[in-house]
Structure 1
């Protein structure tokens, strides 16, 4: 796990200047790699590569980067882990193409694969999470590549005649050629998604390489180069649905436990202390259970708890940890601890990011790093095995909505909106004792308002876009913005699936998962110099998940059915069965309380008008409604606040 960066000047450059610029860019990534640093350049080609290293495998100088292949053709800076690199070494030996190894790092293995098999074939044979920049000295070409599911980040863009690239925007901004012009279309995307989806970035002429893609840039036509996919999620979907797993429930559970267990075992490989996040939910509990089953000593597990009712899962995590016999650490966080993180967020997230669970993610990473350098997480289970409540809603709410005539839909929507969310919450609280368990909803008032919106939608796809959108019409809020195309708005790029639920799952795995969840985990963890690994995103687990029929994922009104069966083999059902909770904070109340003055300053009408990015009226209206308690606009307001705080931080650091 590292931070990598570099630059390529088309017409060459002075060696000292190239090295100085690359070192300045690398210095911005020290948090990603505090253990070692390196820089390399070819002044005739105008290329410079730099790396910051968090040492995980091969702690010796043999793992130092930038690293050359043994034949001298390739030079690489690499961020990530190749979990099957020892198997790749065995294949190279069997084919008699292995070099004389200098050490046992996966970076050296990758380079040997490039020499023997070429870049694309090596990537297709590799299992891991990564982003890298590879300079081919023979063909004078630069290749940028990113892992299949998008666990590791990679930004790039031309600034004049200079190509800049790196793990975070911080590195690109350190170069004197960087033009920090905000892309208003990307800002509109931020308001819709709470994040900026790839390939877009907050600055003009800067892009994120999409997951599963590589970009080969030749010296003779560099600006004509376009990313190409070496692995496509939609292909995994099609292949899985085309050859479904026909198996009994027990056999399907065996297959999942075997494949997921193999992924967990491979990702436990480390030369430094290793542990796991544990919330006590299905996903993290399954990962920890499989880890403990493969360890002869107690696994280190970590959780944080909150004193606010409805936000604390620490007791559940402790119960799972006791049953499994892990070495468990928990920390109860007071509101002041969480609030203290907020001023740091604009620096941690190099472009504005609006998912408020960034705060507890940072805190759990901070706690975990005190004892270990690597932590496994349970991310990905919801997207692969049908865990989000919106999938259940698609099978119930949307199917029922479709049967209603348009006039009845509009009337029902109007009736739902007459009652305020607060009033709905109070009503549900009173009648909760007589309601079926499936109706024990968190924030029923907000769900009633969302249902009102759903009643007027024209299609299942529109239903999903509505659920995935914070601001429903962000281009009307961002001045001068034209919202660019994304996977959500490009039907030609949609997966072909047999049901709305499966389509939603496939879309989430290609949008929400890499652009929000994995960004959040990477930045929050790396700000603490902690490597995170996600066993469920091994592409072989992904491909198996798509072979599992939907009825073995969602059954009897419950998501992640098959994943639960694996967990029940290790943990009693009573310890993990409870309503799904997000990894959140009581943001709605904080905005009305301890964060009110801070938010008011950033949302000041005159300030918004002078800065010229937002129309003040719709933002001020939502702020007023939120303060009154009439509506809960925490998510929409938080995204605006995160942009405003990020803008203020960037102005301060640029002054």
Structure 2
């Protein structure tokens, strides 16, 4: 796990020293991602520089230093992530004549690229990654991101025509010619979803590479620059979750539930074992929920010593699952470290959120996630998580509600539906008749899904100069087109919410303290297996995540497995009415909003007044505005 950055100047004019200085500056901006080593490599004749910050996990020796040059000197790579099946690939490549100096997975990935090419190497690998690979012969730069979107990669064009890229926006902003102008369309996305999904980013001219995509930049692309580049259709899909889900659904799972349980056990055991390889201390996030408990149980079952586990709880009981985590830890016999956080400790973190998350981000569970990562990093360098289980195994109650409401809407005559429906705007968030009208206006299952993930319904009316950008929740082509409505709901979340919210949150929070996180449930083999299962093995007699829970009963008693689901959040509403009130008032000051020119102040001030008067649900609307305002202030 590391950080990468780089730049390619269209007309080479910088000396080797100047390129090295630029690479060092860009790498230093993300030094928190890799405190163990730093490297810069440049090709002055081409005007290209690669920078790398290393968090040493596998092969702690200097043989793992990056940027790394291939044995035949053709390829140079800066790589962030882990290739979990590197031992298997190493044996295959050695049989083909490749030679290795050390035992890092980076060297294996580089040899695979030299042997098979970038896309074929990606397809053979099992891991998480973001990489930049420079082909010295063809003068082509390749950028790639893993199948699911575990590791981030930003890219764009600076004002001088340079192509710039990096693990975080901070690396790009370190380039002296990059404009820092806010993109109002992306800001509207932040208010709508709490995050900004790929390929969009908060700065104009900057994009995120989407999960499962590879981008090829050659001299022709460089000459055309940002004028003709299409960030949506330009990158090539080397792995598509929609296409793979469609194929899995059409293939189906041939066995009964007993066979499915055995296969899930085998797949998850292997996925967990692969992610337990590390030359540094390793542990697990343990919330006490199904997914983290299952991962921790599989770790402990394959470990000769107690696994280090970590949990966090708040003094607000609604947001506190720590007692369940403690009970699971006792039963499994892990070496458990809980952290109980009062409001004061959590609030100390709020001013640091813009720096931790780099780009404006407003999922309030960012607070406990960041605190949990800090706790774990005091003891380990790698932590396994249960991310992905909800999106693969029907884990959200909103799925069941959306399917139920779609069925009810289908029974209503279209003429009556049109008369009853309407667009109540932001009032839909408050429930009651306004929420019912919004559901009636949704139109179809995708519309219902969109209703349940949307914060500001009309965010373009709040952000000055904003247009409405489409996301997976708006695009019919994002639907799998086969299977059940449940499959479609899970695919939308897998594509957008999981990759762009949950995994972004965990990556930024963990890498801010140089902690690597790994997610066995997001092994591509587990994902494709889950997609092949019938809905009855995921949602059975009203029970969510049926098959994973059945598997978990092999390791835990029923009372720790079958219990109500609780979210992983923070009592933001209480904070905004209490200790954060003055801070929030300063961020939402009407004069400041007007002078900065990003928002129309009236709708924001109106919601703030209603919230202070007792309307409890507006805190989700306000948190997005507050996180942008805090980020904006941190850029000055």
TM-score range with shorter-chain normalisation?
over 0.9
Map of 1:474 onto structure 2: 459
Deviation at 1:558, TM superposition (A): 1.7
Corresponding residue SS for 2:40: strand
Check 1:411–1:582 CA distance in 2 against 1; reply closer, same or farther (3 A cut).
farther
Map of 1:440 onto structure 2: none
Deviation at 1:117, TM superposition (A): 1.1
Map of 2:73 onto structure 1: 72
Q: Distance in 2 between matches of 1:381 and 1:123?
A: 24
Q: Deviations over 1:67-88 (max 9, x none)?
A: 0001101111100000001100
Any unmatched runs of 5+ in structure 2? none
Alignment match of 1:263 (pick from 242, 252, 271): 271
Map of 1:599 onto structure 2: 584
Map of 2:123 onto structure 1: 124
Q: Deviations over 1:552-603 (max 9, x none)?
A: 1111112111111111111111013221111111111111111111111111
Corresponding residue SS for 1:165: strand
Alignment match of 1:610 (pick from 590, 595, 606): 595
Q: Distance in 2 between matches of 1:74 and 1:447?
A: 60
Q: Distance in 1 between matches of 2:203 and 2:428?
A: 39
Contact 2:549 2:561 in 1 (8 A): no
Indicate the RMSD between aligned Cα atoms, in angstroms: 2.0
Contact 2:153 2:166 in 1 (8 A): yes
Q: Distance in 2 between matches of 1:396 and 1:448?
A: 18
Corresponding residue SS for 2:635: helix
Q: Distance in 2 between matches of 1:447 and 1:384?
A: 31
Map of 2:97 onto structure 1: 97
Corresponding residue SS for 1:143: strand
Q: Distance in 1 between matches of 2:18 and 2:62?
A: 26
Corresponding residue SS for 2:122: helix
Q: Distance in 2 between matches of 1:405 and 1:564?
A: 40
Deviation at 1:407, TM superposition (A): 8.4
> How do 1:553-564 and structure 2 match up within 5 A?
553-564=538-549
Corresponding residue SS for 1:489: coil
Deviation at 1:635, TM superposition (A): 1.0
Q: Distance in 2 between matches of 1:493 and 1:594?
A: 42
Q: Deviations over 1:12-63 (max 9, x none)?
A: 1211111111101100111100011011111111011111100000000000
Map of 1:537 onto structure 2: 522
Q: Distance in 2 between matches of 1:631 and 1:400?
A: 29
Map of 2:22 onto structure 1: 21
Check 1:447–1:167 CA distance in 2 against 1; reply closer, same or farther (3 A cut).
farther
Contact 2:242 2:480 in 1 (8 A): yes
Q: Distance in 2 between matches of 1:451 and 1:366?
A: 42
Corresponding residue SS for 1:574: helix
Map of 1:633 onto structure 2: 618
Deviation at 1:413, TM superposition (A): 8.6
Residue 491, structure 1, aligned to residue 492, structure 2: no
Q: Deviations over 1:473-497 (max 9, x none)?
A: 1111111111223322222343223
Residue 185, structure 1, aligned to residue 191, structure 2: no
Contact 1:237 1:497 in 2 (8 A): no
Map of 1:575 onto structure 2: 560
Corresponding residue SS for 1:215: strand
Map of 1:588 onto structure 2: 573
Stretch moving more, 208-217 or 446-455? 446-455
Q: Distance in 2 between matches of 1:492 and 1:32?
A: 36
Map of 2:209 onto structure 1: 209
Q: Distance in 1 between matches of 2:24 and 2:432?
A: 50
Q: Distance in 1 between matches of 2:51 and 2:297?
A: 38
Q: Distance in 2 between matches of 1:453 and 1:148?
A: 34
Check 1:378–1:451 CA distance in 2 against 1; reply closer, same or farther (3 A cut).
farther
Q: Deviations over 1:483-520 (max 9, x none)?
A: 22332222234322332221110010000001100000
Contact 2:67 2:78 in 1 (8 A): yes
Contact 1:420 1:631 in 2 (8 A): no
Map of 2:405 onto structure 1: 397
Alignment match of 1:506 (pick from 463, 473, 491): 491
Q: TM-score of the superposition, structure 1-length normalised?
A: 0.92
Q: Deviations over 1:597-627 (max 9, x none)?
A: 1111111122111111111111112111211
Deviation at 1:631, TM superposition (A): 4.2
Q: Distance in 1 between matches of 2:431 and 2:91?
A: 56
Q: Distance in 1 between matches of 2:34 and 2:271?
A: 25
Check 1:618–1:88 CA distance in 2 against 1; reply closer, same or farther (3 A cut).
same
Residue 306, structure 1, aligned to residue 291, structure 2: no
Stretch moving more, 351-360 or 589-598? 589-598
Alignment match of 1:333 (pick from 341, 349, 354): 341
Q: Distance in 2 between matches of 1:111 and 1:172?
A: 25
Corresponding residue SS for 1:556: coil
> How do 1:338-357 and structure 2 match up within 5 A?
338-357=346-365
Q: Distance in 1 between matches of 2:428 and 2:443?
A: 25
Residue 642, structure 1, aligned to residue 627, structure 2: yes
Contact 1:25 1:174 in 2 (8 A): yes
Contact 1:234 1:496 in 2 (8 A): no
Q: Hey, which bits of structure 1, 4+ residues long, moved more than 3 A?
A: 404-414, 445-452
Q: Distance in 1 between matches of 2:414 and 2:507?
A: 44
Q: Distance in 1 between matches of 2:73 and 2:236?
A: 26
Map of 2:41 onto structure 1: 40
Map of 1:286 onto structure 2: 294
Check 1:374–1:88 CA distance in 2 against 1; reply closer, same or farther (3 A cut).
same
Map of 1:434 onto structure 2: none
Q: Deviations over 1:388-421 (max 9, x none)?
A: 111111232332243245787799999x99x999
Deviation at 1:260, TM superposition (A): 1.2
Q: Distance in 1 between matches of 2:352 and 2:121?
A: 39
Q: Distance in 2 between matches of 1:331 and 1:413?
A: 47
Q: Deviations over 1:198-219 (max 9, x none)?
A: 0000001100001001111112
Q: Distance in 1 between matches of 2:572 and 2:385?
A: 24
Map of 1:324 onto structure 2: 332
Corresponding residue SS for 2:551: helix
Map of 2:388 onto structure 1: 380
Map of 2:140 onto structure 1: 141
Any unmatched runs of 5+ in structure 1? 422-444
Map of 1:114 onto structure 2: 113
Q: Distance in 2 between matches of 1:309 and 1:35?
A: 39
Residue 251, structure 1, aligned to residue 259, structure 2: yes
Check 1:454–1:97 CA distance in 2 against 1; reply closer, same or farther (3 A cut).
same
Contact 2:63 2:102 in 1 (8 A): yes
